Amino acid sequence: MTTTNQSWGGRFNQPTDEFVKIFGASVFFDKILAPYDIAGSIAHATMLCEVGLLTDEEKSQIIDGLNTILADIEADRFEWSIDLEDVHMNIEARLVNMIGNAGKKLHTGRSRNDQVATDIRLYLRNQVDDINNEIKRLQSALLDLAEQEVDTILPGFTHLQAAQPISFGHHMMAYFEMLSRDAERLIDCRKRLNSMPLGSAALAGTTYPINRTRTAELLGFERICNNSLDGVSDRDFAIEFLNAASIIMMHLSRFSEELILWSSAQFDFIELPDSFCTGSSIMPQKKNPDVPELVRGKTGRVYGHLTSLLTIMKSQPLAYNKDNQEDKEPLFDTVNTLKACLRVFADMVPTIETKRNNMYNAAKKGYTTATDLADYLVKKGLPFRDAHEVVGKSVAYGIQKQKDLSELSLKELQAFNADIENDVFDILSLEGSLNARNHLGGTAPNQVKQAINNARKALK
């Protein structure tokens, strides 16, 4: 009788079709889980020995064998077999080949279903920590840039129209705050993914006297999955991570868009170094901001992975289904993409060169201190809606005369409201506008400095 994979082929009379082997195998991509699979197996073997299901000698053989296999994998000496389908069976088969019957006992009380669910959680827990470290590195770079540019003035935009003057440092701190929430989301996600499914077995638990609390302790899990069906079948923790990753990429994409605009000849607010740009094959003058463009493009890739995993899970009945093999590639690619984007941004931000005069001159266009004039009139006792109308007429006059509000004479301004006095020019300057917003969260330079100091303390 011809059989198939020795781990499950006992009831089969025909070999697996060769294309089906390739179609169903996951070892091409899930071998990345090998260190986590081995860590889970070592903890499982330790627990099995403590409850009397393995002897001390068998446990030692298993652990020594697994460590040898891990060393071979890390040295790229391990031969992966598609016939063994996945990372789990490749490692187990090699272990049995090395130590014999003791290796066959390792699978006691567990299934590939709870094994892979455990591996993914261990992997993702580690990756979340690495990603948060990259977020902190980027935040640190933003703080340095913000501190350097506290007094640099540029136009703040709404609807991509010049709105009010702001500090460039204040603008950078906006992205710092976004990334702080991103880090919080990942920390929160980590709490939920740090639950151990091992011991759920295929779907119903096991008849062996296992000690799941001990295994969780050995693997650093904070809690145990309370329901075996849920433990092996749900991937909401991965979906939650992909959602958090998508939000991070959205923030990086917004930042990318601004860097692309600011580095264009039309804005000319910043200069990106040559090492983060490329040229054109036909236009010799071009200097293209490829890094932010790529990050902006990769955002759609991560969004797609989130949609993919949501779709994979949406119609699955309990418990485990082979559909879940499709959870890994979107997850792995998201991790790699996100880490790369954060890394390149953390490397690029310290190299940004600001063109302060260009920013300042741009902030003088578009009547960006108009709101300050309205606020000035309100403080003189005029209702805001009336003040809004007065300033609107002043701006219309300025457009006609091709003058900024700060360039109008006192006599011209008083034609719109007699209460305007000479002190109005203090608030119509860009510096005056910034300094007037002297409250928590405002763009006044001393407030930006305090925000940076607070952020440095929080980051430590």
What pLDDT was estimated at residue 333?
A: 98
Q: Which residue has the higher pLDDT, 103 or 18?
A: 103
Q: What is the mean pLDDT of the chain?
A: 94
Tokens 């071998």 found at: 31
Q: SS3 for 140?
A: helix
Is 19's pLDDT higher than 90?
no
Is 233's pLDDT higher than 50?
yes
Structure tokens at 179: 């990334």
Pairing of strands 195-196, 161-167: unpaired
What pLDDT was estimated at residue 284?
A: 64
What pLDDT was estimated at residue 276?
A: 84
Per cent of the chain over pLDDT 90 is 89
What pLDDT was estimated at residue 3?
A: 45
Give the class (CATH, top level) of 113-203+225-360.
mainly alpha
Residue ranges of the chain that CATH labels 1.10.275.10: 13-108
Distance CA 436, CA 443 (A): 9
**Residue 80 has what DSSP assignment?**
-
Pairing of strands 153-158, 161-167: antiparallel
Task: List C-alpha distances in Å: 147 to 142, 446, 447, 450.
Answer: 8, 11, 12, 10
Are the C-beta atoms of 427 and 372 separated by less than 8 Å?
Answer: yes
Task: Catalogue the active-site residues.
Answer: 159, 280
Is 302's pLDDT higher than 90?
yes
The architecture (CATH level 2) of 365-459 comes to Orthogonal Bundle (1.10)
Is 8's pLDDT higher than 70?
no
Distance CA 366, CA 165 (A): 10
Which residues are 162's β-sheet partners?
157
Residue type, 443: T
Residue ranges of the chain that CATH labels 1.10.40.30: 365-459
pLDDT band (50, 70, 90) for residue 7: low
For the domain spanning 13-108, the CATH number is 1.10.275.10
**Crossing angle for the helix pair 112-148 and 87-99, to the nearest 10 degrees:** 120
pLDDT by residue (tens digit) across 384-404?
999 999 999 999 999 999 999
Phi and psi for 207 in degrees, rounded to 5? -85, -10
Is 18's pLDDT higher than 90?
no
Distance CA 155, CA 449 (A): 19
pLDDT band (50, 70, 90) for residue 2: very low
16-20, 202-206, 241-245 — which is least confidently predicted? 16-20
Is 86's pLDDT higher than 90?
yes
pLDDT by residue (tens digit) across 167-178?
999 999 999 999
What pLDDT was estimated at residue 125?
A: 98
